Chains A and B, each alone.
Chain A
Amino acid sequence: MSDEDDLLAMSESIGKVLAGSADREHLHAHLDGKISLDAELWAQAAELGWLAIGLPEEAAGGLGFGARGLDVLHRRLGTRVAPGPFAASLSAAQALADAGVDAGNWLDRLAAGEAKLAVPALMTGAPLAEATWLFGDVDSDAALAPLGSGEWGLVPLEDASAIALWDRTRCLFTANLDGSVPLATFDGAGIAEALTRQLCLALAADSIGGARAILEITIDYMKEREQFGKPIASFQALKHRVADHMTEIVSGEEFLSLAVASEASGDPDAGIWARLAKARCTESYLRIAQDCLQLHGGVGFTWEFDVHMYLNRARLSELLVAANTQLKDEAAAGLAESFRAGREPLELA
């Protein structure tokens, strides 16, 4: 079997598993605080080897699928608005592997699901502090974060305190850093860029998966819901909006695939496309989730229906890592730099 076939098979199997373990009953139970679906899904992912999907085989006991493997996983997780620290911890692990730093046995532990990492919710480059909002599991073993003077490290987290969020499928928190000594330190230049790229790709994949899912849920609802004696899916004014949304999703999926291929091939311009994929896919997700609520009418405004989970996740994803305006500015600067260096950044990956 080729890598492509392997990835396709993996994607289908992940989708099948999540359809059972993260169905809407489980999601609502999690939102209502009756179960800890994040922990359940994390344990399931560890057992099934999903956490190793992107990591290199030799160095980390990973499955070696790199950016393409992570893309498959995050699209599936996004489809189910799956709770859990996947985007944060897997991105941190991949960034450590990509930057080629000596991370001791962390990569093996991360691949096996024995450790979880958090990351700064915003990649400002500011040294980790008590006030820093961290993204990941509140029980993370450490945060991969800047320490100041160009250094990054893995910092143990004491007394972490979760911030109640509108997006109840994700966790942001602050931690007490009194006397905490970094477990490992690295030269930060490569890490910061690798982590930014990984987080951007993860959030983009999660978002485009979520956008497609909520639109499909909405289309199904529109075929059932009748007004004026007809299914509302037959009203042209509504159908055309749905067609526009699906066009935005299909083109967003393809653009993300371009960014992923660029990352997978080690393209020096991969950071440009990762940043733009995050901006494009999170903006599409928000726009589409918002209109899906409108297309549901009154029931879209209720807790009982699912739209709010997608809308809240879209809004948070849009704001994580960095403002999309900033990512676009960085991409514009990156393109100018690439042209000046005589490269052809627009060649399709």
Chain B
Amino acid sequence: MMAADMRILSKRDDIGAFRRAVQDWLAEVVPPDAIQQMIDADEGEGVEIQKAWMAERNKVGLGTPHWPREYGGADLSMEHQIVLAEEFARTGAPVVPAFMISHNHLPGTLLSWGTDEQKARHLPGIPAGDIWCQGFSEPGAGSDLASLRTRAEKNGDKYIINGQKIWSSMAMYAKYCILLARTDPDAPKHAGISFFLMDMSTPGVEVRPIRQISGRSEFAELFLTDVEIPAENLVGPENGGWKVAQSTLASERGVISFEYIERARYAVEGFFKQAIENDAAWLKDDQLRREFIDQLVELQANRRLLRQLLLTDAYESAAGTMLPSYIKLHGAIFRQQYSSLLTRLEGLEGQRLAMGFEEVYFPAMFTYVSSFSWTIAGGSNEIMRNIISERGLGMPRG
């Protein structure tokens, strides 16, 4: 890798100077219409913007700032990552959901479970732009993930995969996939699953984009027919994949959620300021104005919960283990209620068909329909309520 420009990382010992260096750099590289560019882009263009932005970040050593140095990261502390998230949000720098799995789930898995060879083969490709997708959910295994049925049969030094995966984000752009498949159909459902690294160009892998509620496609279905995966691509022990997957799912410790809610702050604030400037009609409507204020309260509560989670490392402490579940449920409900209110504030004008990019960018209807991804994906609201009441509050299973 080319040696990075050290103008930001050289300031790491002084957090104030670090922040100013980040601000100066962002002022230079993020165009004023960055958010509009994302809104105007179609899906493919959106991915290109994200790749270009990652290349820009790499120039100053901020491609994977949270990774250990030996794998090309900057080994930045949580405090530094918070600064980056805040400043990215403030300037409207592109979000990089296409790299969600590459930046978090893959290293989260490989650093705990991967062989040296697996790490050496796959981690250096990430800063260079490799996109990974996740093959976990199935048509018959959503909230009950462990009931997955995709089969992996050992045949000499390879596994033969047959089955179907769904809700695989960005799979049409992905080079690799982290895959869960059943290696022992006779074992109890959690005990017969294995974790694999799959090359998406392998014969038998078919990707069909799923057209979503917005009309766009970010997810895909994967049809896997006699796909051969070399045995060396097994991660962790055979039939030990459920435990490996727990590391995968725990790998994103809230920084992305924090960055997203910080972006929501600027979106909400910008909307409010503009309404004040334009003397918007809804500001004079007692009910609508009060509902907006109610949502502002929830925004502030969620932002502060996330910041506390990151700063106090509550995630690690016994008392704090439920906090991510509370934040997830609260954040999902906030996004849905806020965006629904937004469509009412915009009135008929907001019903003009217009796309956006990710839920933090307007227009309102796009934000509203996208809010269902927060209430369903990553543990639906109902699953979060089960986790909170059973694991958190000790209420017995029915």
B269 near A243: Cβ-Cβ < 8 Å: no
A252 near B289: Cβ-Cβ < 8 Å: no
Is A242 part of the binding interface, using a Cβ–Cβ cutoff of 8 Å? Answer: yes
Question: Binding site of A, secondary structure by majority: helix, strand, loop or mixed?
Answer: helix
B304 near A258: Cβ-Cβ < 8 Å: yes
One of A63-71, A116-124, A229-237 at the interface? A229-237
Residue contacts A-B, CB under 8 angstroms, 13 given:
A234-B398, A235-B398, A239-B386, A239-B398, A250-B323, A251-B326, A252-B301, A254-B305, A255-B304, A276-B297, A332-B289, A339-B276, A348-B303
From B273, B382, B397, A240 is in contact (CB under 8 Å) with B382
A247 near B326: Cβ-Cβ < 8 Å: yes
Other than the given A230-B398, A331-B293, 12 more pairs (CB < 8 A) read A223-B394, A235-B398, A239-B398, A242-B389, A243-B329, A246-B388, A247-B326, A255-B304, A280-B294, A325-B286, A328-B293, A329-B286
B301 near A336: Cβ-Cβ < 8 Å: no
B389 near A239: Cβ-Cβ < 8 Å: yes
B330 near A222: Cβ-Cβ < 8 Å: no
Residue from A235, A247, A279, A280 with most neighbouring chain B CB atoms (10 Å)? A247
Is B119 part of the binding interface, using a Cβ–Cβ cutoff of 8 Å? Answer: no
A247 near B389: Cβ-Cβ < 8 Å: no
Question: Binding site of B, secondary structure by majority: helix, strand, loop or mixed?
Answer: helix
Q: List which B381-398 residues lie within 8 A (CB) of chain A.
A: 382, 384-386, 388-390, 392-398
B294 near A328: Cβ-Cβ < 8 Å: yes
A247 near B304: Cβ-Cβ < 8 Å: no
B330 near A247: Cβ-Cβ < 8 Å: yes
A250 near B272: Cβ-Cβ < 8 Å: no
Which residues on the A side are within 8 Å of B389 (C-beta)? Answer: 239-240, 242-243
Is A34 part of the binding interface, using a Cβ–Cβ cutoff of 8 Å? Answer: no
Minimum CB–CB distance for B141 against chain A, Å: 20
With A255-B300, A348-B303 as given contacts, are A240 and B395 in contact (CB-CB < 8 Å)? no
What residues make up the interface of A, taking CB atoms closer than 8 Å to B? Answer: 219, 222-223, 230-231, 233-236, 239-240, 242-244, 246-247, 250-252, 254-255, 257-258, 273, 276, 279-280, 325, 328-329, 331-332, 335-336, 339-340, 346, 348
Is B290 part of the binding interface, using a Cβ–Cβ cutoff of 8 Å? Answer: yes
Minimum CB–CB distance for B224 against chain A, Å: 34
Q: How far is the CA of A299 from the CA of B308 in the complex (A)?
A: 39
Q: How far is the CA of A223 from the CA of B301 in the complex (A)?
A: 30
Q: How far is the CA of A236 from the CA of B333 in the complex (A)?
A: 19
Which residues on the A side are within 8 Å of B382 (C-beta)? Answer: 240
Which residues on the B side are within 8 Å of A276 (C-beta)? Answer: 293, 296-297
With A243-B329, A276-B297, A332-B289 as given contacts, are A254 and B390 in contact (CB-CB < 8 Å)? no
Minimum CB–CB distance for B200 against chain A, Å: 38
Q: Which residue of B lies closest to A330 (CB)?
A: B293
Which residues on the A side are within 8 Å of B307 (C-beta)? Answer: 348
Q: How far is the CA of A242 from the CA of B384 in the complex (A)?
A: 12
Minimum CB–CB distance for A200 against chain B, Å: 13
Q: Which residue of B lies closest to A347 (CB)?
A: B265
Q: How far is the CA of A328 from the CA of B283 in the complex (A)?
A: 12
Ranked nearest first, the 8 interchain pairs of A and B with the lowest CB-CB distance are: A243-B385, A239-B389, A255-B301, A243-B388, A251-B301, A233-B395, A240-B385, A234-B396
Which residues on the B side are within 8 Å of A244 (C-beta)? Answer: 329, 385
With A234-B395, A239-B385 as given contacts, are A329 and B289 in contact (CB-CB < 8 Å)? yes
Which residues on the A side are within 8 Å of B395 (C-beta)? Answer: 219, 222-223, 233-234, 239, 242
Which residues on the B side are within 8 Å of A340 (C-beta)? Answer: 276
With A239-B386, A325-B290 as given contacts, are A247 and B329 in contact (CB-CB < 8 Å)? yes
Minimum CB–CB distance for B203 against chain A, Å: 45
Which residues on the B side are within 8 Å of A222 (C-beta)? Answer: 395
Residue from B286, B289, B301 with most neighbouring chain A CB atoms (10 Å)? B301
B300 near A234: Cβ-Cβ < 8 Å: no
With A247-B329, A329-B290, A346-B269 as given contacts, are A280 and B297 in contact (CB-CB < 8 Å)? yes
From A239, A246, A250, A335, B390 is in contact (CB under 8 Å) with A239
Q: Which residue of A lies closest to B293 (CB)?
A: A328
B305 near A348: Cβ-Cβ < 8 Å: no
A348 near B398: Cβ-Cβ < 8 Å: no
From B301, B323, B390, B396, A231 is in contact (CB under 8 Å) with B396
Residue from B286, B294, B297, B382 with most neighbouring chain A CB atoms (10 Å)? B297
Q: How far is the CA of A335 from the CA of B307 in the complex (A)?
A: 22
Which residues on the A side are within 8 Å of B330 (C-beta)? Answer: 247, 250-251
Which residues on the A side are within 8 Å of B276 (C-beta)? Answer: 336, 339-340
Is B109 part of the binding interface, using a Cβ–Cβ cutoff of 8 Å? Answer: no
B308 near A332: Cβ-Cβ < 8 Å: no
Which residues on the B side are within 8 Å of A247 (C-beta)? Answer: 326, 329-330, 333, 388
Q: Which residue of A lies closest to B287 (CB)?
A: A325
With A234-B398, A346-B269 as given contacts, are A254 and B304 in contact (CB-CB < 8 Å)? yes
Which residues on the B side are within 8 Å of A252 (C-beta)? Answer: 301
Which residues on the B side are within 8 Å of A328 (C-beta)? Answer: 289-290, 293-294
Q: How far is the CA of A254 from the CA of B307 in the complex (A)?
A: 11
